[in-house]
Structure 1
């Protein structure tokens, strides 16, 4: 900042003042003789300089406690709005208005008491009440006996610089979209909360909040819509916390809350439930009403960690456990969670290597026509031949692959490997059958999905009718309109489509009849209870078969393990089955062998207990 009178200028003015106090008598300095005429000129020059200054200047008495104003320049009048007549004889504290508790004032008060130079940045207020930032310099003025008689104060309006600084600070420490504290400010607030909690032996809770299925909002309304929804959620969460709490935006659809314990009482689970409830409330956007929910992980200081990073990381881990347990829930961190998280990190690292080293293999489970008893298809099931842990099943790694996005290259490998194997068996003269391949949500939401399937089939030379894609009911229903469009493109290729785990989701009949699908697959949980319990699951199986046939769809039951289950399915018109009763999933070599043998189901429903 430039200034017409700097601190060195102030010292020059002090020297002139000393000359004035010598009663205009000539006096000498080493090598200099100053006449009364020169003193008069010096006084005139001093006055003109102060009057012309662009910055406010004040001369006050050095008499405590008032230090009353004796002179202000025109710049002071212009910038503050106070006239010379309104301020002469007053103490300067009126410039702070009611804002008297500024710690920076103590430096100015100390400088006046100690009769020395001092400076501070203060909030001052104009006559109209508007605030401006003032960098104030004060310096004592002494007479020729060395007694301080006055103080000279220069004001520098640094409001523009302070506003720019505030904007930069806000950009550095606040989220641009929501205005909430960002990660940097959150860490600072949490550090302060931990210091206070350690001093007073109290608790701090750290909440990690992750919105569930937020991607569907972005897919439905675009970035503008998803930004609006995030702002709504941020506003709701901010209203749901206390003034002493800190809400920060952590990531795209993630928030963190720091809750210090108040002296008056303990932190309560009701606070967590309140935050979940505000996320659950209906959101209206673009004329549509929809609902979101969240998963929340909670850590507590000092039980779950004594450091910022430890508490944040463990809260994140707990949130992931809450999400796996089920939407709209919270989980407190436990030691077992951290152990499991480390295990999952190791699996993720190993998975990346497994893709590079092609450590995956496919097993195939026969799908059998209940009318003829012969195999008419197979489901391709991935296995991981881990170099240290041996053969791993999907339950050991598929969820991690889905979370990390590794399911995309793994799924592409499964599709190509299964189609290649099917084509190879045909070329060896084995019966032509379809191969069913499972699709995950991440795979299903890829761009140009149908075109990628067409390319694989064309590269391998496999007929589309010999490929079936299995999608879960919940995957399809997460965005029905989008699913219908994608499935129609796939169906146009001639590829069959099956809905897996049917009966466990939330399909409505109005949507089901619009889906371009070929088969419903009855979930094993219903099949396993046939012949046991109160018979409700058996009735559900019958209902699914009837519904499917009414919609001109075929039905396959999975998890068939007993003759009783098989006979029930046959009696009620189920079209196909797969399960241990006929065969477990087999290696490619073993599956080829049963194809060559012509193995089939027994056609007799009650007399024979083994498979021919």
Structure 2
């Protein structure tokens, strides 16, 4: 006898909604898989739990909405306990799926076993949900369709696992791939559900016992849809925000890594030449010391200083000097092996660390270095030449500590400089004597101001041709308690190197102004005192205020002071020099350009300088002979000075022939041993009278003091 069954139909809208929920649930699953894969440790566990809940709710909702779309000619309802059981099965199954795809690998066997377990679990969820109808008599299932639904569940699970595992990594265009995969997975899940529904047969006369005491489908459909979409939306939104935060965190981490790398490079690398700096050199030297001690081997430390670099830097500017240092560094780097170290200590000083078997190996490297540095450099259109002075120490012969090796190599380098430059010397113990002497001079220099050991001598300046005295140049001397009178040429370089030149220069300016105030009070009001400014003083930010305060303190009118600046210093940074000199000139102070002819002045800039005097370098005067090259240069300088309305001063006049020739050229002012030696202030007044002729001054000053050539604060 054939059994009659109720004819079922579906709510099209709810079927469509169930499809959308299936696709959305599939996309959520794929996204959760990506978050779990991208997160470590505790965060991954939280994403696994949250993802299992969201994915489970989504799959169960698709199933439940599909069931709510099912219509029979009888009232339907759902048993609450069984409905919740089907939901739990969906959540646990989702958790298993997410755990499976979060594992490092997914073999074919693992995929088959996992798909089988998941398929059975999903089928269990579906048929548990169907059982929640509590039909009497029970639902009759078509064996073929029932089996087909389970097979579809297994196949859909296998496909979903493989797709999710494949797309779990966050790569470019991954969102589009996940969206397409979610559609395929959603259709597969829907196919399984509606195949299972098609397998169910409801005999005519069946009643749903849950209709009166279970959950009614009317309002339930709307609640399930809203809750499900909310859960999935929250899960996806959380995932998107977390992914964005992770991306920003990753970018921040990369930025911090780059910044840390740059800071490390700045801390260990010379910014200009990109060679290791002093810090990294000390570390490499320490490593070489430990290795050499352990393996009983040798290595060489070579201290390199460039000869002639300062003149290029002063005359052409720091920009050219920096470019030259970069080129030198490249040549040094290209001449050593990969395991050797070349470092820049600062300025034009470099250090090499090289492994050697014998000292001769270091000598070969030094010769190679000197040769490559000796070759001309083409820098910004200038053909420049420098050479290298090299000092070499060998471990362990010349020192067993980093400090001893560096100090002794430095001493050897200075010995090379003192014996002609452009070469190398190995360290010898006698070299330390000179280094220690220099250190002692620096220590004594620090105490010289406090002990009032400095003196000023004054060399008269004469007007040409009447021979009247128009003032004096203040020249520094150091009255050392044990070494006697020391000329500036023996200590000024050290004072500049240590920064002591600043307080010494302040004392010189104050003492010269104090003395000129005395001479003014004695009636010599047309005299001027000339004071040299070193390059360090000239670049001091407090120079203008210092000069103002010094003049005020000594009640000296500004016109009584002349400040001498070398040509190379004035031309080093022309615009900055112009600003400083304009301010000094604005105070009423005269400006003299010293050592003129030795630098590289632009006449355009020279014309703009607020100078009142050009001072011809003594080098042109010493070999002056009418008709020679120097005479032509001197004549040109004097003519240039006149054309610019500048007074021209010749220093270093020592013979009558020089005086006569300079007079014939129209030189305005002279100073030199022929006319008057540098002398102490009390001797100066003895020797000089306001209207004294040159011959008389010469005869008196010949009885003067120091036989040394005058050396100013600057020389």
In the superposition, the TM-score normalised over structure 1's length comes to 0.62
User: SS of the residue aligned with 1:552?
Assistant: coil
Q: Report deviation, 1:420.
A: 0.8
CA–CA distance in structure 2, aligned partners of residues 323 and 84 of structure 1:
78
- Is 1:187 aligned to residue 307 of structure 2? no
Contact 1:435 1:466 in 2 (8 A): yes
Q: How does 1:325-340 map to 2 (within 5 A)?
A: 331-332=424-425, 335=428, 337-340=431-434
Once the two structures are superposed, residues 362-387 of structure 1 have per-residue CA deviations (whole angstroms, 9 ceiling, x without a partner) of: 11000000122110010001111111
Once the two structures are superposed, residues 529-570 of structure 1 have per-residue CA deviations (whole angstroms, 9 ceiling, x without a partner) of: 2349x7322232222212221222111111112212111111
Structure-2 residue corresponding to 1:415: 509
Structure with the larger strand share: 1
Bigger CA drift: 358-367 or 491-500? 491-500
Contact 1:528 1:559 in 2 (8 A): yes
CA–CA distance in structure 1, aligned partners of residues 585 and 682 of structure 2:
31
**1:557 pairs with 650, 660, 671, which one?**
650
CA–CA distance in structure 2, aligned partners of residues 75 and 289 of structure 1:
68
CA–CA distance in structure 2, aligned partners of residues 521 and 554 of structure 1:
8
Contact 1:297 1:322 in 2 (8 A): yes
- Is 1:315 aligned to residue 399 of structure 2? no
Contact 1:186 1:248 in 2 (8 A): no
Structure-2 residue corresponding to 1:27: none
Q: How does 1:49-128 map to 2 (within 5 A)?
A: 78=104
Bigger CA drift: 303-312 or 416-425? 303-312
Structure-2 residue corresponding to 1:585: 678
CA–CA distance in structure 2, aligned partners of residues 396 and 426 of structure 1:
32
CA–CA distance in structure 2, aligned partners of residues 591 and 83 of structure 1:
105
Q: Report deviation, 1:416.
A: 0.7
**1:462 pairs with 556, 560, 570, which one?**
556
Structure-1 residue corresponding to 2:366: 269
Change (3 A) 1:168 1:559: closer
Structure-1 residue corresponding to 2:343: 248
Structure-2 residue corresponding to 1:538: 631
Contact 1:364 1:381 in 2 (8 A): yes
Give the aligned CA root-mean-square deviation in angstroms.
4.6
**1:515 pairs with 591, 602, 609, which one?**
609
**2:666 pairs with 559, 573, 581, which one?**
573
CA–CA distance in structure 2, aligned partners of residues 190 and 544 of structure 1:
57
CA–CA distance in structure 1, aligned partners of residues 109 and 264 of structure 2:
41
Looking at CA atoms only, which structure, 1 or 2, has the larger radius of gyration? Answer: 2
Change (3 A) 1:220 1:254: closer
Contact 2:286 2:402 in 1 (8 A): no
- Is 1:595 aligned to residue 688 of structure 2? yes
Q: How does 1:367-386 map to 2 (within 5 A)?
A: 367-386=461-480
Contact 2:370 2:388 in 1 (8 A): no
Q: Report deviation, 1:198.
A: 5.1
Bigger CA drift: 183-192 or 427-436? 183-192
Contact 2:302 2:391 in 1 (8 A): yes
CA–CA distance in structure 2, aligned partners of residues 510 and 590 of structure 1:
43
Contact 1:297 1:317 in 2 (8 A): no
Contact 2:624 2:631 in 1 (8 A): yes
CA–CA distance in structure 2, aligned partners of residues 263 and 331 of structure 1:
16
Contact 1:77 1:83 in 2 (8 A): no
Q: How does 1:197-216 map to 2 (within 5 A)?
A: 199=297, 204-208=300-304
**1:366 pairs with 460, 474, 496, which one?**
460
Unaligned runs of 5+ residues in structure 2 are 1-40, 43-99, 111-168, 170-252, 703-715
Contact 2:563 2:590 in 1 (8 A): yes
CA–CA distance in structure 2, aligned partners of residues 571 and 173 of structure 1:
62
CA–CA distance in structure 2, aligned partners of residues 264 and 77 of structure 1:
62
Contact 1:207 1:256 in 2 (8 A): yes
Structure-2 residue corresponding to 1:357: 451
Contact 1:473 1:501 in 2 (8 A): yes
Q: Report deviation, 1:331.
A: 4.5
Structure-2 residue corresponding to 1:141: none
CA–CA distance in structure 2, aligned partners of residues 215 and 310 of structure 1:
31
Contact 1:197 1:204 in 2 (8 A): no
CA–CA distance in structure 2, aligned partners of residues 274 and 76 of structure 1:
64
CA–CA distance in structure 1, aligned partners of residues 101 and 343 of structure 2:
44
Structure-2 residue corresponding to 1:57: none
CA–CA distance in structure 2, aligned partners of residues 461 and 347 of structure 1:
35
Q: How does 1:340-351 map to 2 (within 5 A)?
A: 340-351=434-445
Q: Report deviation, 1:273.
A: 3.7
Q: Report deviation, 1:334.
A: 5.0
> Number of residues paired by the alignment?
449
Bigger CA drift: 407-416 or 183-192? 183-192
CA–CA distance in structure 1, aligned partners of residues 434 and 383 of structure 2:
34
Q: Report deviation, 1:396.
A: 2.0
User: SS of the residue aligned with 2:530?
Assistant: strand
